[in-house]
Amino acid sequence: MPRDHAYYAKALEGRRLPLAFVDLDLLKDNATALVRRAGGKPIRLATKSVRCVSLIRRVLETVPGFQGLMCYRPDEAVRLRERGLTNLLMGYPVVDPEALAELCRPPSPVTLMVDCAEHVELAARAAQRHGARVPLCLDVDLSLDLPGLWFGVYRSPVRTPEDALKVARAIAASEGVFLAGVMGYEAQLAGVPDASPFAGMKNLAVRALQRGAVRAVHARRAAIVRALADAGVSLSFVNGGGTGSLESTRADASVTELAAGSGLFSPALFDGYRMFRHQPAAAFAIPVTRRPAPGIFTLQGGGFVASGAAGPDKLPRPYLPEGVRLFPLEGVGEVQTPIAYEGPVPLPLGAPVFFRHAKAGELCEHFRTLLLLSEGRVVEEVPTYRGEWG
Ligand SMILES: Cc1ncc(COP(=O)(O)O)c(C=O)c1O
């Protein structure tokens, strides 16, 4: 069935707006496509890009190829563990001693992310509180220091085998912790679209930079993994990549598992990659509340701007009916969003207009529940993290 305005308007008829929904049939297709793109390597699900326990569970349980979770908030990881989810990796360092103590609680401590001796010390102290043995993962920076351009993100200070060995030695010297894994996330390849409709000619520069970066990124990650192996560290996993880089990351033989999450919802920013196209599986609906002029409709709310460097690419993208346009001087508003629309779909007061968030999981920060649709009707309403945990 074509996913047009009529399809979703009918499926959601009678529901109070605003609302957010996930099309389970498209989500399933996206999950399967991600597994195919991963080329046989397991995918650790990046929970920040979903933020809904029910959907996380659904993907893990129904799509072979997804294995384990990369969490982004310590309280989240603890709650997921309480719900029986296993193989949890914190994707980012935690420094709050109480949160660390919770994460380290036996019998199944969460794997903690570290990139310096201080992180190791904090983790070891928390582990020792429980007499636990806590697995650590070393975050390796894969940014490239090019002339006049830092091509990547600022995360970890660990860039060389020597840097990695230094942290590995700190881990080996600490009671209660051991080095279980390495993560090297090539954000400049996975998270930067190379065919963004907002970037114009800049896309060409991005493509050239990305083409040139792959080899260096793989070499850096592989060299660090090799140095750790030579030093006698036996790693259980090496994680890399994201939705935007599965094809290239999987080709790095040092990588044992990939990370991905955004491709499940495939939000607006992920329309901008040449290598793949997933389907828009998540959207939100806001109602028409007034008609200020012919061809112009004003909608309630809608200002769900995505994080990151601010720009028009971070605004929700009008989705359905096809042909809806935002006004550049107004964007999406805190309480009202005017749109221009001259197409054939009637938009009376109260009618839904559908938007896609620029990013994946952030949609769930604005809604307490998600309506799950399948075969053109709502089959379930499930809480988002915000709805469950605030
Ligand atoms: C460490 C790490 N790995 C992987 C990802 C990729 O996630 P996604 O597939 O949602 O882009 C991210 C996203 O920011 C990340 O921070």
Provide the token pair at 31.
Answer: 């999950």
Residue ID of nearest Cα to ligand 1 atom 5: 242
Q: Kindly give the distance from the C-alpha atom of residue 316 to the centroid of ligand 1, in angstroms, as a whole number.
A: 20
Domain 27-262, what architecture? Alpha-Beta Barrel (3.20)
HEC string of 308-328? CCCCHHHCCEEEECCCCEECC
**Amino acid letter for position 343:** G
Q: Which helix (H) or strand (E) holds 179?
A: strand 177-184
The average confidence (pLDDT) of the chain is 98
Task: Give the ligand 1 atom nearest the CA of 242.
Answer: 6
| Contact status, residue 45 vs residue 30, Cβ threshold 8 Å | no
Using the mean position of ligand 1's atoms as its centre, give its distance from the Cα of residue 50 in Å: 11
Cα four-point dihedral sign 366, 370, 375, 378? negative
Distance of CA 299 to the CA centre of its chain: 28
Q: How far is the CA of 67 from the centre of ligand 1 (A)?
A: 15
| Cα dihedral 89/26/275/203 (nearest 10) | -90
The b-or-e profile of 290-315 (16+ CB within 10 A means b, else e) is: eeeeeeebbbbbbebbbeeeeeebbb
CB under 6 Å to ligand 1: residues? Answer: 46, 49, 91, 185, 190-191, 242-243, 259-263, 360
Q: Which atom of ligand 1 is nearest to the CA of 263?
A: 9
**Spatial distance between the Cα atoms of 99 and 71, rounded to a whole number of angstroms:** 13
Tell me, in angstroms, the distance from the centre of ligand 1 to residue 46's CA.
Answer: 6
Query: Is 1's pLDDT higher than 90?
Result: no
pLDDT more than 90, % of the chain: 99
Going by pLDDT thresholds of 50, 70 and 90, the confidence category of residue 317 is very high
| pLDDT tens for each residue of 242-268 | 999 999 999 999 999 999 999 999 999
Mean pLDDT of the region 222-238: 98
369 C-alpha to center of ligand 1: Å?
Answer: 23
pLDDT digits over 177-198, tens only?
A: 999 999 999 999 999 999 999 9
Looking at the domain covering 282-389, what would its CATH class be? Answer: mainly beta
> What average pLDDT score do residues 233-237 get?
98
**Gap from CA of 94 to ligand 1 centroid (Å):** 17
- The mean pLDDT of 12-32, rounded to a whole number, is 98
Domain boundaries, the chain: 27-262, 282-389
Residue for token pair 């001796």: 117
From the alpha carbon of 72, which atom of ligand 1 is closest?
16
Among protein residues, the one with the nearest Cα to ligand 1's atom 6 is 242
Confidence of residue 341 (pLDDT cuts 50, 70, 90): very high
Strand order in the sheet with 177-184: 88-90, 66-71, 43-46, 257-260, 237-240, 177-184, 134-140, 112-114
Express each pLDDT in 105-123 by its tens digit.
Answer: 999 999 999 999 999 999 9
Between CA 215 and CA 94 the distance in angstroms is: 31
Q: Cα 243–249–252 angle (5° rounding)?
A: 165
Beta strands in 106-241 (DSSP E): 112-114, 134-140, 144-146, 149-151, 177-184, 237-240
- What average pLDDT score do residues 84-111 get? 98
Q: For residue 183, which atom of ligand 1 is closest to its CA? A: 1
Share of the chain above pLDDT 70, in %: 100
315 CA to middle of ligand 1, Å? 20
Which structure tokens are listed for 114?
A: 């570290």
Q: How far apart are CA 165 and CA 129, in angstroms?
A: 26
pTM above 0.95, yes or no: yes
Average pLDDT of the residues in 54-62? 98
What pLDDT score was predicted for residue 140? 98
* Atom 13, ligand 1: residue with shortest CA distance: 242
Residue 329 has pLDDT above 90, yes or no: yes
Amino acid at 154: Y
Is-contact 180 111, C-beta < 8 A?
yes
pLDDT band at 282 (very low <50, low <70, confident <90, very high): very high
> Residue 387 — very low, low, confident or very high, per pLDDT cuts 50/70/90?
very high
